[in-house]
């Protein structure tokens, strides 16, 4: 039997990590994931993939680790010897990054350098994917592509710009196969509950079930290019199969406001969003990113990647998923 290819995913417990693990397992990989130790299990998004490691069929293996702990990254890489490393771990919430700028820099920014340096130190021959973000474009007007200058508007965006350049630097300085996927917003039923699309889809489900009266929100005029996370992890994998390491924008090219998304989600259950949504300045950011609309023609032309799900359908599938699990939730999410 052929030895399976090994991949290591940081951030495997997150939205993208869980879809990527699914994809790689389907493709026959042996998947290793780094999990942070917490006082409660934090593996809810990947539990359905887990087979006890004593079982000979097990192909998903989890290891404790943290991007702020460089020596652990060295020992893990040495032990696992992955052919592909996907660095998805980050403090990924833009609003929270204003509250925790230092931690965001240490994990989202310097964490990437720790991983790249660990790979270099042990001389591991592997392909490296860095989860870069459209937030790096910040205030630069759309459409944004690989040549668009960065103008980050948050500690999160600034940390991602640093990680982007470190990835390029390791590629140019040491000849590493290190690539940046510059992904625009992507969502799913597994999206964290405090990101805007999921906050909306959960609120719709809660309102229909009579568990919530109002939805408190911030800036409804921001324009985003929302895609489906399941489509986007395929682009990550394609980037590491390419002939050479390059950077790629991944986006749908569509532009909708937060108001539009509210309308798609509420209309799906025949409700008028304006009757339920109220303003709370807590959800405003000190500096906002007004408009992100990606031009992913390079990913289409070089990798053959195209998105399958676009925002109106995305809103509906997220609402449907939250409606179908509403009875399993015992309490409302905190309005963070």
Residues of the binding site for NADP(+): 128
- Shorter beta-carbon distance to ligand NAP: residue 170 or 294: 294
Cβ pair 282, 91 in contact under 8 A: no
312 binds, options ligand F7E, ligand NAP, none, Cβ within 5 to 8 A by partner type: none
Smallest distance from ligand F7E to CB 263, Å: 14
Active site residue 86: no
Tokens of residue 86, six digits: 């996907």
**Does position 196 bind ligand F7E by CB under 6 A?**
yes
Residue 91's binding partner among ligand NAP, ligand F7E, none (Cβ under 5 to 8 angstroms by kind) is ligand NAP
Q: What is the full DSSP assignment across 50-85?
A: ---TTSTT--EEEEE--TT-HHHHHHHHHHH--SEE
Place of tokens 């820099």: 105
Active site residue 276: no
The answer to whether 122 and 78 have CB atoms below 8 angstroms apart is yes
> C-alpha angle 286/289/292, rounded to 5°?
170
Kindly list the distances between the CA atom of residue 103 and the CA atoms of 68, 100, 107, 108, in Å, as whole numbers in the listed order.
Answer: 9, 6, 6, 8
Decide if 19 is catalytic.
Answer: no
Q: Which of 6, 13, 95, 144 binds ligand NAP (CB under 6 A)?
A: 13
Q: How far is the CB of 317 from ligand NAP (least distance, A)?
A: 16
Site for ligand F7E in 212-271 (CB under 6 A): 217-219, 222, 224, 258
Q: Which of 132, 133, 188, 201 is catalytic?
A: 133
Q: Do β-strands 248-250 and 177-183 pair in parallel, antiparallel, or remain unpaired?
A: parallel
Catalytic residue from among 22, 30, 84, 135:
135
CA dist., res. 61 & res. 76, Å (int): 12
Q: How far is the CB of 253 from ligand NAP (least distance, A)?
A: 15
Contacts (CB under 6 A) with ligand NAP, residues 23-82: 34, 36, 42, 66-68
Helices (H) and strands (E) in the chain, counts: 11, 13
Give 321's contacts (C-beta < 8 A, 6+ positions apart): 189, 201
Nearest CA to 309 out of 199, 186, 195, 203 is that of 186
Q: Which is nearer to ligand F7E, 285 or 329 (CB)?
A: 285
> Tokens in use for 39?
């006082």
Binding residues: 128
Task: Tell me which of 133, 148, 254, 291 binds ligand NAP, using CB under 6 A.
Answer: 133
Active site residues: 133, 135, 156
Site residues for ligand NAP per CB under 6 A: 10-11, 13-17, 34, 36, 42, 66-68, 88-92, 107, 111, 131, 133, 183, 185-186, 192
Note the residues at the interface with ligand F7E (CB under 6 A).
92, 94-95, 133-135, 184-185, 194-196, 199, 217-219, 222, 224, 258, 283, 285, 288
């Amino acid at each position: 039997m052929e030895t399976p290819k090994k991949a290591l995913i940081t951030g495997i417990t997150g939205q993208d990590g869980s879809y990527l693990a699914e994809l790689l397992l389907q493709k026959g990989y042996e998947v290793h994931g780094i999990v942070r130790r917490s006082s409660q299990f934090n593996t809810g998004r990947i539990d359905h993939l887990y087979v006890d490691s004593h079982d000979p069929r097990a192909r998903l293996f989890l290891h404790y680790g943290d991007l702020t702990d460089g020596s652990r990254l060295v020992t893990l890489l040495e032990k696992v010897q992955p052919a592909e490393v996907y660095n998805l771990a980050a403090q990924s919430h833009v609003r929270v990054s204003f509250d925790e700028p230092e931690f965001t820099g240490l994990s989202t920014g310097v964490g990437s350098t720790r991983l790249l340096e660990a790979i270099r130190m042990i001389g591991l021959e592997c392909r490296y994917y860095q989860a870069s973000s459209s937030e790096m474009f910040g205030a630069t007007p759309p459409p944004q592509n690989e040549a668009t200058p960065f103008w980050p508007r948050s500690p999160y965006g600034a940390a991602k710009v640093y990680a982007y350049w470190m990835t390029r630097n390791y590629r140019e300085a040491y000849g590493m196969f290190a690539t940046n996927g510059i992904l625009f917003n992507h969502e799913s039923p597994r999206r964290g509950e405090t990101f805007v699309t999921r906050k909306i889809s959960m609120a719709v489900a809660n309102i229909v079930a009579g568990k919530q009266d109002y939805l408190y929100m911030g800036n409804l005029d921001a324009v985003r290019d929302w895609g489906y996370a399941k489509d986007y992890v395929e682009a990550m994998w394609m980037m590491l199969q390419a002939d050479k390491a390059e950077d790629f924008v991944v986006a749908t090219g569509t532009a909708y406001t937060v108001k539009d998304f509210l309308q798609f989600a509420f209309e799906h259950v025949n409700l008028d969003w304006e009757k339920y949504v109220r303003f709370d300045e807590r959800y405003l950011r000190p500096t906002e990113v007004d408009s992100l609309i990606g031009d992913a023609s390079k990913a289409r032309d070089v990798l053959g990647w195209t998105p399958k799900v676009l925002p109106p359908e995305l809103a509906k599938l997220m609402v449907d998923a939250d409606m179908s699990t509403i009875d399993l939730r015992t309490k409302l999410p905190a309005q963070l």
